[in-house]
Structure 1
Amino acid sequence: MSRPAFASFVLPPWLAHALRAQRGPVPWMAVTRGALAAGPLLLLAVLFDRASLGVVAAIAAMLAGINDRPGSRRASVRRLGVPAVAGAGGMLVGTYAGHSTGVLVLTLILTGLGLVAGGISAIGPVASAAGTQLLVATAIGAGMPLPEPGWVRALAFVAGAGWLLALRLLLPTPGAIVGDYRFDGERKAVAAVYDAVAELLDAVGSSAAIARRVSLTAALDHAQDALAGPRLRRYASSAAERRLRAQYAAALPLAEAATALAWGGEGVSARASEGPRRLAAAVRGNTHTGPLPAPNRSAPALRALDDALLHAAEVFDQGEGRDLHTRRRSPRALLRSVFGAGGREYGLRVALCFGASAAIAQALHHAQWYGQHEHWYWLPATAVFLVKPDLGPLLSRVLCRAAGTVLGAVVFAGFAAALPQPGGLIALVALSGALIPVATRHFAAQTAVVTVLVLALVMVGGEPPASWSRIGETLLACAIVLVVGHLPMPGQRGGGVRARLAAAGDAAQAYLNHVLNESAAPATSDATHIPGKPGAPSPRPSDPRPLRWTLRREAYRTLAEARTAIALAAAELPALARHSEGAAEIVVVLERIVDTTTACAVHLDDSGRLTTRHTDRLAALLDELAEGRERVGLRMPELPLAV
């Protein structure tokens, strides 16, 4: 019996991505913060007859709400604060540029800002959000007709975002009754690392081991971010903060041992994962670990796992340990991100989209195509969101933006006809703010909610309904971004993917070189000694493992970032996706190299020398990497094997 033709039909990647939405529980606290942010600020401003300032503050709160993602409170200071400061600067620059320059000069200023903000966005998620808010606020400041001077608008912008940040820092999470509630996000993230270690140990020897190792990397990345940022209180919380950092640092040798066991491929008993699970429970409950079941010490990786468990138990009891949570990036590395291939390509596209949309919008505005609706700034502001590659593939972004805008404009038109003004519109703003944390799971849903909120703000500010002009400007922005996104650029295409791959290769090289340099040190014992037991040699004067764990974290983290960039590039239309072909295979090889390097490190700790299995595997992987590099024409560092 033949199968129906549609049974084997597979959606193209760009369409599948447009239809895909994130899943997970409803972030009720983020919903609460969203409801208490833009709406109350707008209401307060209206009551004091300063509706225009309320609109600016509500816009800032809305943009901060988009960045209000799950995580720790300390991480939210940077994730929400840095973009808010950039947005306030953009509001200041845009206001004075829009009021004191002509169309040509203003367009050149906006284009230059787009070039700078686009290059900075290549650094990472926080920098990308900062670049976006800088450009959006600049366009709003230049085009929105408000009576206040630029510095007052900038203060209102900071106040709006700062209010949401204050809610994020002060409101307790329901059920977070263990210790200081302000550390519930950090505690949850660190506990997830120990759970991920246990799940990887359960999967050792099975086909699920690779996926579990990837999940462990994601958990470590999340915990690293959760512990980053300023201290919430300088003195009273120092003990709790030190304890959490020590617990995170104690998970690194456990993760290393578990990865080495997964590389070996021989299954371990269920007893091996009981210890990490008890450690996870101790982190969540802020309690002592109690006795931990010790695994069998029959192999180097198992002995490393046992030693790591003993060390973790000691750290949990004393609350002291190494602080390895901070991800430090040198100024040189940051500049390389901005001025490298990825930063240049991103900056040029953002500059072209932002500048071209601003020029077209002002030309249409001065030609009186907009009638009484002076919203030319919507066009460049929309183009900024559409041109961001970290929001998804280009065509997927365009389709979601268009569909979301049409839906949001139609929904708002119905509400505007039925709701009383301004009270009903302010309530609609509060409702939209509450929906943003849920709507961020899909770009079309987020666009629909933001469209309703923005159109409500326009009417509260005293302007007539603008649903249809909003649709027209969005569709025009979609067309501009589609054209610019497919234009040829100087240099090689796929700069973002290539930059991520180069960073991952550099990190893998640094990690491998460090481990191999350890192997070059004179051996101090035979191949069968057990560290920490009678007969073991004295430790080296300086323990090289903290640096090794830091290098290992950076290697896996950059590989995860490269995987994300490649997945987004692969979902582009074929004309763009072909520029990143073969990159995914290189990432797989690099991950195997880092896995093998981890197994080498654990074996070196145990015996002081590598086996032929380790060296042969490394040599084969390095040959495979060299072949892949030549096949796809990607610049990758040479990884020398010297053992």
Structure 2
Amino acid sequence: MSRTTPAVPLWLAHALRAQRGPVPWSAVTRGVLGGGPLLVAALLAGHPTLGVVAAIGAMFAGINDLPGSRRASVSRIGVPALAGAAGLLVGTYAGDHLPAVPLTLALTGCGLVAGAVSALSPTGSAAGIQLLVGAAVGAGMPLPEPGGQRALAFLAGAAWLLLLRLALPAWGSLAGDFRFDGERHAVAGVYEAVAALLDAAGSPAATARRAALTAALDHAQDALAGPRLRRYAGSAAERRLHAQYAAALPLAEAATALAWAGEAVPARASEGPRRLAVAVRDGEPSGPLPAPSRSVPALRALDDALLRAAVAFDRADGGDLHTRRRSRAALTRTLLGPRGQEYGLRVALCFGVSVAVAQALYHARWDGQHTYWYWLPVTAVFLVKPDLGPLASRVLNRAAGTVLGALLFAGSAAVLPRPEGLIALVAVSGALIPVAARHFAAQTTVITVLVLALVMVGGEPQASVARIGETLLACVIVLVVGHLPMPVRRGGAIRVRLTEAGEAAHAYLAHVLDGSGDRTARWVLRREAYRALAEARGAIALASAELPALARHADGADEFAALLERLVDTTTACAVHLDDTGRLDTRHAEQLAELRDALDRRRERVGVRLPELPSAGRADGGVRSVRP
């Protein structure tokens, strides 16, 4: 009798999963040069507490110092830093002038705003976290400086690390214009993903390679979307990068159409994109490119795209195809819609309850000295944010990381000289943040050590045991609140994401079947459709890894997203075929009709509202595109 090993639950598997990749040595270097020098300067100037606040600002900037381009780091680090400074101002004023109950209500209101803003984007989420952390620290960490000085010190710390990010060259990128090393690697990654998809055409790996191509395009789009280093024309290197990104879009389109056909392509088809990837990364001309076979429309499209890419690399004129065109109305709908409401209510409730409990605990044991009650609400802020992982995974990793970090710090503080040893501990922890970011528990361990060292430099006594207890209490609060019924329907975030993906797919399909010759608009619509699908897939994967009571709200969503992906893939194949022949064949039309019927049957089950999908019609011997 055979025995089967039970599968690990998704919520536990997610807690154990860690990201992989090379060590980001440039970020490690910036971490060493971040909080440590700021503390030294503040101690020499006689303002250690301002140095602590500045180092906290640098720490958060280091957490947001993700791989990518320098231009993208301006908003990725700067916007959350401004939110954190605003939180410090609000928290300091509220803590100095409001009694306990009004203070709790005011901070709960901050939680409602921060939670809604978190639904907008990853940058919005980081801004929401720093707003609430700043508010909790301002209200719960007694410091001699007024709120304005604290906010300026926090901004100075973040600005210092951002300056390091903009000024220091990355490891191995001293040759050439190192200002654009992140952009070059991101765009080169697109060409490599195109080549990988071509290699996988006709094999079971094609679906995963197409998803990897979408991720590479998303990364390149974000890398190019920061502020221009020159306001209008930009440098020649900058314009060339835009042209290289724009040239990759038709290549990606042709590769997707070939993968959709399900047939292997000649091996030499991927050689051209790989040579283009090397040219982008090295900043060199593309040189001669091998011509693929032109036996089918998608291969002819690939050949044409390679020719256009070779011309575009020299012409350096790519327009602004990297820009995401999101209207203010769409942002407002996200902010005030189900996602914003659900995030806002849960964050507000968790933050407000943790503030109230923290104040009650510390006032109950007040001994005539300053009280430090910020740890409990700050921990709740990190635990309640859904974009940091499923709830159970967050709680397990946060608890384990805090316990380990507090024990490590207690042992280190017992033997290290002060303040020199604590400053060295801050520098080492700052260097480890980029590496520890691969796993939430590891990141929590490093941040716990860093924060405990900082606050001890600022005059707070060693309290590792108390911090462990407060973390466990925050875990309980967030677990309870995370499972409470809310006025907003559960799973609203998934339905909103799927609705957005369905609308983007509809707009893309309608444009293709309309017969418009505007390929630039088509590529923009295609990018938005695939990006919306990737975001929906991420939300579904996150919800599916929750505990069963929450994961059931994602039932059926993954199958619906798969149908939408097939629809967008088929639309891409239709676009390439129409470019070549002016007509759709029966296979394309039947696939579109089949997918439209399948989506109609399933959308009510998952609660998604979609516009009526256009029809390509049917005809023997070929189908001409028609207006929806």
The two structures have a TM-score, normalised by structure 2, of 0.96
Are the structure 2 counterparts of residues 640 and 481 from structure 1 closer, same or farther at C-alpha, using a change threshold of 3 Å?
Answer: same
Are the structure 2 counterparts of residues 607 and 178 from structure 1 closer, same or farther at C-alpha, using a change threshold of 3 Å?
Answer: farther
**TM-superposed deviation, 1:372:** 5.2
Partner of 1:538: none
Partner of 2:213: 216
1:108 matches 2:98: no
- Give SS of 1:554's match: helix
Partner of 1:540: none
1:382 matches 2:356: no
1:98 matches 2:95: yes
Deviations 1:308-356 (A, max 9, x none): 1110000112222333011121101111111111111111000000111
1:404 matches 2:396: no
Tell whether the 8 Å contact from 1:504 to 1:555 is kept in structure 2 after alignment: yes
- Which is worse superposed, 230-239 or 346-355? 230-239
Report the residue type matching 1:330 in the other structure: S
Matches within 5 A, 1:79-158: 79-158=76-155
Report the residue type matching 1:573 in the other structure: L
Report the residue type matching 1:147 in the other structure: P
Are the structure 2 counterparts of residues 115 and 370 from structure 1 closer, same or farther at C-alpha, using a change threshold of 3 Å?
Answer: farther
- Which is worse superposed, 225-234 or 123-132? 225-234
Are the structure 2 counterparts of residues 136 and 299 from structure 1 closer, same or farther at C-alpha, using a change threshold of 3 Å?
Answer: same
Deviations 1:553-590 (A, max 9, x none): 00000101111111111010000000111100011000
1:619 matches 2:616: no
Partner of 2:579: 605
1:571 matches 2:568: no
Report the residue type matching 1:500 in the other structure: R
Partner of 2:158: 161
Matches within 5 A, 1:17-416: 17-233=14-230, 238-368=235-365, 374-416=371-413
Partner of 1:532: none
Deviations 1:122-180 (A, max 9, x none): 01100000011011101111111011111111100000001010000001112213421
Report the residue type matching 2:546 in the other structure: E
- Which is worse superposed, 246-255 or 365-374? 365-374
Partner of 1:554: 528
- Give SS of 1:296's match: coil
Partner of 2:9: 12
Partner of 1:640: 614
Q: State the distance in 2 between where 1:371 and 1:310 align.
A: 77
Deviations 1:370-419 (A, max 9, x none): 88572211111111100010111101100111111110111111011100
**TM-superposed deviation, 1:609:** 1.7
Report the residue type matching 1:82 in the other structure: V
**TM-superposed deviation, 1:610:** 1.3
Q: State the distance in 2 between where 1:236 and 1:547 align.
A: 22
**TM-superposed deviation, 1:298:** 1.6
Q: State the distance in 1 between where 2:219 and 2:25 align.
A: 20
Tell whether the 8 Å contact from 1:502 to 1:637 is kept in structure 2 after alignment: no
Deviations 1:464-509 (A, max 9, x none): 1010111111111111100000000113201221121111111111
Are the structure 2 counterparts of residues 577 and 370 from structure 1 closer, same or farther at C-alpha, using a change threshold of 3 Å?
Answer: farther
Partner of 1:593: 567
Tell whether the 8 Å contact from 1:94 to 1:139 is kept in structure 2 after alignment: yes
Report the residue type matching 1:134 in the other structure: L
**TM-superposed deviation, 1:605:** 1.0
Partner of 2:415: 418
Tell whether the 8 Å contact from 2:495 to 2:606 is kept in structure 1 after alignment: no
**TM-superposed deviation, 1:10:** 1.5
Tell whether the 8 Å contact from 2:419 to 2:457 is kept in structure 1 after alignment: yes
Deviations 1:54-78 (A, max 9, x none): 0100111111111111111111111
**TM-superposed deviation, 1:235:** 8.2
1:515 matches 2:512: yes
Report the residue type matching 1:560 in the other structure: A
Tell whether the 8 Å contact from 1:342 to 1:498 is kept in structure 2 after alignment: no
Report the residue type matching 2:45 in the other structure: F
Question: Percent of counterpart pairs with the same letter?
Answer: 73
**TM-superposed deviation, 1:121:** 0.5
Q: State the distance in 2 between where 1:582 and 1:493 align.
A: 14
Partner of 1:584: 558
Report the residue type matching 2:537 in the other structure: R
Partner of 2:519: 545
Tell whether the 8 Å contact from 1:405 to 1:474 is kept in structure 2 after alignment: yes
Q: State the distance in 1 between where 2:259 and 2:456 align.
A: 59
Structure 1 stretches lacking a partner, 5+ long: 522-542
Tell whether the 8 Å contact from 1:72 to 1:226 is kept in structure 2 after alignment: yes
- Give SS of 1:635's match: coil
- Give SS of 1:8's match: coil
Q: State the distance in 1 between where 2:433 and 2:367 align.
A: 29
Q: State the distance in 2 between where 1:174 and 1:447 align.
A: 27
Task: Say what the alpha-carbon RMSD is for the aligned residues.
Answer: 1.4
Q: State the distance in 1 between where 2:580 and 2:322 align.
A: 26
Tell whether the 8 Å contact from 2:245 to 2:318 is kept in structure 1 after alignment: no
Count, aligned residues = 617
Tell whether the 8 Å contact from 1:198 to 1:276 is kept in structure 2 after alignment: yes
Deviations 1:184-237 (A, max 9, x none): 010011011011111111111111111111110010000001101112355896
Tell whether the 8 Å contact from 1:342 to 1:494 is kept in structure 2 after alignment: no
Q: State the distance in 2 between where 1:81 and 1:411 align.
A: 31
Q: State the distance in 2 between where 1:402 and 1:160 align.
A: 28
Report the residue type matching 2:395 in the other structure: V
Report the residue type matching 1:559 in the other structure: L
- Give SS of 2:66's match: coil
**TM-superposed deviation, 1:245:** 0.5
Partner of 2:503: 506
Partner of 1:447: 444
Tell whether the 8 Å contact from 1:501 to 1:636 is kept in structure 2 after alignment: no
